């Protein structure tokens, strides 16, 4: 990191707020500490089995499954994704907005459908990820390579620093939510039913799909949701522009944002983790999660939506950005004056 550059957000939006997420960032050039890897063979076997079925499910979706079953799988993927993005991530991990109990219940259900551990566990790991990003305490440290950050971290024992820092982290606000306490307490009962049991009979009963097609496509949509989430930890920490903070690994990755329902604007998110949009522009076409939250806000189920002012963004871009901050075109308020002066304008209108 360049000297005299303070690029770590505190996680506090207004004076007097309790700090939940601060960030410890090493230089992007730092290397991870070498360590002996301990494989978790149970996870390796389970993921191998799930991926084999998912590949077959994708084949069945293209060859024999009914179109309704494919649409159904896409809907389940969207629901599970919202449980992770709008729920575990933006609502509970970062407290970027607040929600009334019906919306929280829906998001907890969707999160269980996604099967990425309970919200309490997911949010604890995610807060550690932000507080110690790209260090040994980061559960999916991208400096250990794409595969480790993507899914390899789930196939090995956690680094001791991850466990140690996770125990120190403040998560009492998560346990204060009765919906999260219930999900966490009964997760090993709720998860198999919601994620694997309930979705399968519906296509069979409603439009006469085969049991095999329904089962395999459900596994496919589950594995697809996993990879969409994992790409945020891997691809969006390795490839893309860094218009808000060039000294950190997270980057702006539109492909990841499309697949992960708006989570790919990662340089912005790690710079301003309290913004409920996780992006500056908030285009619904590449940020479906923001669209959902805004819809819930309009009907009163989401409130206290936190975001970052234009002035705060501009100051940060000028201080730590890599020069790739977008402008919409000629005359944009963020377009440098020197660009306007040096631009070549031909065929000027004669006066």
| pLDDT on residue 12 | 45
Among 11-15, 77-81, 137-141, 211-215, the least confident range? 11-15
For the chain, domain boundaries:
41-240
| pLDDT on residue 286 | 82
Confidence of residue 329 (pLDDT cuts 50, 70, 90): very low
Instruction: Indicate if the pLDDT at residue 9 is higher than 50.
Output: no
Among 96-110, 225-239, 310-324, the least confident range? 310-324
Question: What value does the mean pLDDT take over residues 319-335?
Answer: 63
Sign of CA dihedral 68, 70, 76, 82: negative
pLDDT tens per residue across span 10-58: 444 343 445 444 445 555 556 667 778 899 999 999 999 999 999 999 9
Instruction: Indicate if the pLDDT at residue 206 is higher than 90.
Output: yes
| pLDDT on residue 137 | 92
């Amino acid at each position: 990191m360049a000297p005299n550059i303070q690029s770590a957000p505190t996680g506090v939006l207004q004076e007097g707020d309790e700090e939940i997420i601060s960030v410890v960032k090493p230089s992007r050039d730092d290397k991870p500490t070498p360590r002996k890897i301990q494989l978790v063979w149970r996870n390796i076997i389970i993921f191998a089995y799930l991926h084999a079925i998912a590949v077959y499910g994708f084949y069945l979706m293209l060859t024999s499954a009914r179109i309704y079953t494919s649409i159904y799988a896409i809907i389940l993927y969207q629901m599970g994704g919202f449980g992770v993005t709008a729920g575990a991530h933006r609502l509970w991990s970062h407290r970027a907005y607040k929600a009334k109990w019906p919306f929280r219940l829906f998001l907890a259900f969707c999160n269980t459908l996604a099967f990425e551990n309970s919200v309490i566990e997911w949010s604890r790991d995610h807060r550690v990820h932000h507080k110690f990003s790209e260090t040994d305490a980061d559960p999916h440290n991208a400096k250990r390579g794409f595969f480790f950050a993507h899914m390899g971290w789930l196939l090995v024992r956690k680094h001791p620093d991850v466990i140690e820092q996770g125990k120190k982290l403040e998560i009492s606000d998560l346990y204060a939510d009765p919906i999260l306490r219930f999900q966490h307490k009964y997760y090993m009962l709720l998860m198999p039913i919601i994620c694997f049991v309930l979705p399968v009979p519906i296509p069979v009963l409603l439009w006469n799909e085969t049991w095999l097609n329904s089962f395999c496509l459900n596994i496919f949509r589950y594995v697809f949701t996993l990879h969409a989430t994992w790409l945020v930890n891997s691809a969006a920490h390795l490839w893309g522009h860094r218009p808000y903070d060039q000294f950190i690994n997270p980057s702006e990755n539109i492909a990841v944002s499309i697949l992960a329902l708006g989570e790919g604007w990662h340089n912005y998110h790690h710079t301003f983790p309290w913004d409920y949009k996780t992006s500056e522009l908030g285009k619904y076409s590449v940020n479906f999660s923001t669209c959902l939250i805004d819809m819930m806000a309009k009907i009163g189920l989401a409130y206290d939506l936190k975001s970052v002012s234009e002035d705060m963004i501009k100051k940060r871009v000028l201080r730590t950005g890599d020069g790739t901050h977008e402008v919409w075109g000629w005359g944009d308020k963020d377009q440098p004056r020197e660009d306007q002066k040096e631009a070549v304008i031909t065929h000027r209108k004669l006066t």
